[in-house]
Amino acid sequence: VSSLSAGVSYFTLGAYIDIGLLRYLCFIIIMLIYCLIICANVLLIVVICMNRSLHEPMYMFLCSLFVTEVLASSGLFPFLLVQILSDIHTVSVPLCFLQILCLYSYANMEFFTLAIMSYDRYLAICFPLQYNTLMTSKKVVILIATALVLAVLEVGVLISLSASLQLCGNIISKVYCDNFTIVRLACSDTSVNNIYGMTYMFTMILGLIILILYTYFRILRVCFSGSKETRQKALSTCTPHIASLLNFSFGCFFEIVQSRFDMSRTRLDMNSVPSVLRIVLSLYFVIIQPLLNPIMYGLQMSKIRNTCKILCCYKILTDACV
């Protein structure tokens, strides 16, 4: 970051709109969304950690997913809340790259975890007798740790390449920091950045999506060749995973297309509804996914649902006794 900050000390976020007193309404809405995300995900993390019957690979991977979403939300929402109330929308170079590290690592970790979960379901449904041998507690820890290291490492390389660029501007046409938008500000050669970015996108994102779809294709083949009970059990388990994958892929796909093809403008006006819509959709992957996952997995999986009911009943009884 030091070589970059020698030429640019801060970035200006050019996508914020002057909406007057409506900023306070936006602040309240964003705050409520943030509180809801934190409460829902932390609740399920506590439920999984407290209930020993949930200390199984599938639930451990879910716990990893919820922790990732809490960290990602904390890397974005406090920043948005400050910017909404501020009249000057600037961010220092180190803080900007820290936000990129949080958001990009979150996206990587989300895809990695979804891929691991699909592999876990593949083993559980296609090889039920060997499952406990194939998916041990040690393997669970190794998979989660490997996903975390790879996610952060890939983003670290991305940031180091961007930090060495000589910039000719400092206006980012978004409401948060974005790596590719920074690369587009460069007046030096960006071929290495572009090659790494495209390789990273196709090998990591597209590769993981293909792997996930392949595992679910194998799962569905086993399901439809089995009994009705087997099909229902498998489909009820896999439906949240598939819905989560499709939802997150849509959000990331739109964000990648928008960044790569410059669908936004530096200045937005109040009557430009499509531009406002693009801002909302650019935040889709880090707002809807952390909200959707706790609801889907909490309602769909009976063990989590029943544990939540027990905890709520215990809290009500405790309050009544007091």
Q: Residue 39's domain is classified under what CATH number?
A: 1.20.1070.10
pLDDT for position 98: 92
Domain that holds residue 229: 2-321
- Do the Cβ atoms of 258 and 162 come closer than 8 Å? no
pLDDT for position 184: 86
pLDDT in tens, 200-215: 777 777 888 888 888 8
User: In angstroms, rounded to a whole number, what is the distance separating the alpha carbons of residues 171 and 17?
Assistant: 14
Ranges of residues in the chain with a pLDDT under 70 are 1-7, 226-227, 230-231, 233-234, 260-275, 299-322
Show the tokens assigned to 307: 């544990």
pLDDT for position 250: 85
Do the bridges between strand 10-13 and strand 90-92 make them parallel or antiparallel, or are there none, so unpaired? antiparallel
Beta partners for residue 92, in sequence order: 10
Q: How many domains does the chain have?
A: 1
| Cα-only R_g, the chain | 22
289-306: b or e for each residue (b if 16 or more CB lie within 10 Å)?
bbbbbbebbbeebeebee
Q: What pTM value is reported for the model?
A: 0.84
